[in-house]
Amino acid sequence: MDTDTQLLESMAIFILKSRLGPAGVTGGGEMMRTRWAKALILLAVLALLATACSQDDESATTTAAPATTTTAAPATTTTAGDTAATTTAAPEPSLAFDAGVTEEPCEGGNPDNGCIYLGVISDLSDGPFAALAIPAVAGVQEFWNTVNADGGVAGFDVAITAENTVDARYNPSEHVEGYVEIEPNILMLAQSLGTPQTQAALPQYIEDNMVAVPATWWSGWAFPENDGNGLVLETGVNYCFEAMNDVDFVVGQLGAEISYAVVGFPGDYGGDYAAGIDVGAVTYGLGDPAFQLTQVPLSAGGDVSEAVSQILATTPDVVFITTGPLELAQTMGGVFGAGGQALFVGTHPTWNPGLVAQEALLPALQAAYFQSGFVPGWFGESEGHDKARAAAEAIEQSPNEWFLNGWASQYPVKALIEDAVASGDLTRAGVVAAVRQLEDVSFEGMLPNQTYFGSPNDIAPRQSIINQVDPEAPGGTVTATGMFTGPTAEAYDFNAPCFVP
């Protein structure tokens, strides 16, 4: 009996000790210290791990480091907003300004210039377009770095700081939230990415007199009732005309006896393009699509299996696809992997140069994918292209059409600042007034000059370009056609947005 009890006792103590650790039953204070120490060590290890990984990973990523990829949230009120009402000596004594503009030079900028702060709300990590938006934001950033290096614009340097950059992850609520946080510090938005996102924030933009450059090409932006009477400074052809040009191209290649299908993201991005396809289909008598599918972005939990199975079941000749690059890759992979075939034509946000690294997919991409775009490709010949390429080299940005897109989108902003300063009013209201007279903006040859007020039927750009996949080419594509306006788009009477939700 005794030995049994002793055995049980010693077993109990053994178990208790092993459960409670070295401090034993009377743990108390020592236990606390050990636990805090462990927590600290854990954090330190993870931090070290992160630093270690960062060295290795710099060379591993296929795109260059972005210019700014941090979120907004000015921790404390910055000088930009505070100098709102001051009337101390300004560079031009007659110039009025409020939010987003200071007489003090930007950090690291020309000491004689004032500073204009612009904001960026984009998709920099989680959303479907992060791979495109990061180089686009780099393009925006480098445009202004080049302008600043040349002496700035109208006596000001332009700064896009990390604090004024919001990563909205293609989520409209986060877009709006982020906007509210950076709004006091900025004069204009240098980028507002996503059609539904910009639409969600538009009432706020209107209330705050905030001019925004969209990274979205919905046809509705051309109409004053949709863009706050001019607040949205779109550049380049919209999805609707792009679609019409795509149909013209496809019919030119395959004739008019083809079946087609349409796959697109939800909302105006997919809807606008689909509407343009409709117009083209009517023109050529192509009939109804074999199917039309709304594809939920993968980053939002969507799945391409439905699109793939529909394509395999209905075997259309052409699939017009308006999604992001991941969805394109998986859909094409699924279709071609199952032995199916179709010609895929994608809108300009659907392509990502990184896709050429997909060895499995490359043959299919080269043979069966066409990409439409709104800016001539990397080796376009223009003054703007030269400058952009030089800037990209300086920051070791690999050739990427989206860098050019971002770069080109800023020309109207520069013109606008110049106009506003010339008229003596660089307040938000003054800038909005200048927008309504913005005409004949030069893109240094990258795009035809564009005017921002007037009848949409007259001023909306209708030119796009078709590219083919070529893994050797910089940016992964070569031009198949030049910039062109197809007959459908040419003849189209543009008096209303192609698609309204």
Partner 1 sequence: MTEFLQATVNGIATGAIYALLALGFVIIYKSSEVLSFAQSGLMILGAFWVVYFSSVLSLNFWVAVVLGVLVSAFLGVAIERSMLRPMVGKPAFSVAILTIGLNIALTVIGFDLIGVEIRSLGDPWGIQMVEIGQLVVSRKDVATIVASVIVVGGLLAFFRYSRFGLAMRATAIDQETALAQGIPVARVFAVAWAIAAGLATIAGVFLGAGTGVTAAIGVRAIRALPAAVIGGLDSIPGAIVGGLIVGLAESYTVAYQAEYLGFLGQNFSTAIAYVVMFFVLLVRPYGIFGTREVVRV
Partner 2 sequence: MRGRPGLVTAYQRDMAIFPTNTQRVWFVMASVAMVLLTFFLSDDLALRGASAAAAAIGAIGLNLVTGWAGQISLGHAFFLGVGAYTAAALGGESGGPLIGLGLEMWIWLPAAGVVAAVAGVVVAPIATRLRGLYLAFVTLGLVFIGEHIFREWDSLTGGIGVGRSAAKPILFGYDLSREGSFLGFTLSAERQYMLFALLVLLIMGLLAKNLVRGRIGRAFSAIRDRDIAAEIMGINLANHKLIAFTVSSFYAGIAGALLWTFVGFVEPRSFGLTLSIVYIAMILIGGAASIMGSIMGAVFITFLPRIVDLLAKYLPLIEDSPSGGFLNVVQVEQILFGLLIVVFLIVEPLGLYGIWIRIRNYWKAWPFSY
Residues contacting 210, CB < 8 A, separation 6+: 183, 186, 188, 189, 204, 231, 428
Rounded to whole angstroms, the Cα distance separating 54 from 50 reads 6
Q: Which residue in 62, 77, 305, 449 binds partner 2 (CB under 8 A)?
A: 77
Residue 264 main-chain phi, psi, to 5 deg: -150, 160
| Closer to partner 1 by Cβ: residue 4 or 107 | 4
Concatenated DSSP letters for 67-122? S-------SS--HHHHTTS--S--SSTT-EE-TTEESSPPTTS-TTSEEEEEEEEE
CA-based nearest residue to 180, from 196, 214, 203, 159? 203
Contact between 224 and 230 under an 8 Å Cβ cutoff? The reply is: yes
DSSP calls for 2-36: HHHHHHHHHHHHHHHHHHH-TT-TT-HHHHHHHHH
String marking each residue 389-408 x if it binds partner 2 according to CB under 8 A: ------x-------------
* Interface segment toward partner 1; rule CB under 8 A; list 136-144, 166-174, 223-231, 326-334: 326-334
- 170 or 351, CB closer to partner 2? 170
Cβ 433 to partner 2 shortest distance, Å: 24
Total residues in contact with partner 2, by rule CB under 8 A: 54
Kindly state whether residue 292 participates in binding partner 1, applying the rule CB under 8 A.
no
Contact between 294 and 266 under an 8 Å Cβ cutoff? The reply is yes
Beta carbon nearer to partner 1, 304 or 388: 304
H helix or E strand, kind and range, residue 211: strand 211-215
Which helix or strand (DSSP H or E) is residue 414 part of? helix 411-422
| CA–CA dist 446, 374 (Å, integer) | 10
Number of residues that bind partner 1 (CB under 8 A): 56
78 makes contact with partner 2 (CB under 8 A): no
165 is a contact residue toward partner 1 (CB under 8 A): no
Nearer to partner 1, 50 or 75 (CB): 50
| Cα 151 to Cα 414: distance, rounded to the nearest angstrom | 13
Question: For 406, phi and psi rounded to 5 degrees?
Answer: -60, -45
Based on the shown chain and the rule CB under 8 A, indicate whether residue 54 belongs to the binding site for partner 2: yes
The answer to whether 352 contacts partner 1 (rule: CB under 8 A) is yes
Work out how close the CB of 179 gets to partner 2 at its nearest, in angstroms, rounded to a whole number: 10
Q: Closest distance between partner 2 and the C-beta of residue 234, in Å?
A: 19
Would you say 44 or 338 has its CB closer to partner 2?
A: 44
Q: How far is the CB of 201 from partner 1 (least distance, A)?
A: 23
Q: Please, what is the angle between helix 195-208 and helix 172-182, to 10°?
A: 30
The span from the CA of 271 to the CA of 456, in Å, is 19
User: With binding defined as CB under 8 A, does residue 266 bind partner 2?
Assistant: yes
Kindly tell me which of 304 and 438 has the beta carbon lying closer to partner 1. Answer: 304
Q: Which residues contact partner 2 (rule: CB under 8 A)?
A: 35-36, 38-39, 42-43, 46-47, 50-51, 53-54, 57, 65-71, 73, 75, 77, 124-125, 141, 162, 167, 170-173, 176-177, 180-181, 184, 196, 200-201, 203-204, 265-268, 294, 296-297, 300-302, 395, 501
Q: Which residues contact partner 1 (rule: CB under 8 A)?
A: 11, 14-15, 18-19, 35, 38, 41-42, 45-46, 50, 53, 56-57, 59-63, 125-126, 130-131, 134, 293-294, 296, 298-299, 301-303, 305-306, 309-310, 325-326, 329-330, 333-334, 336-339, 352, 354-355, 357-361, 364
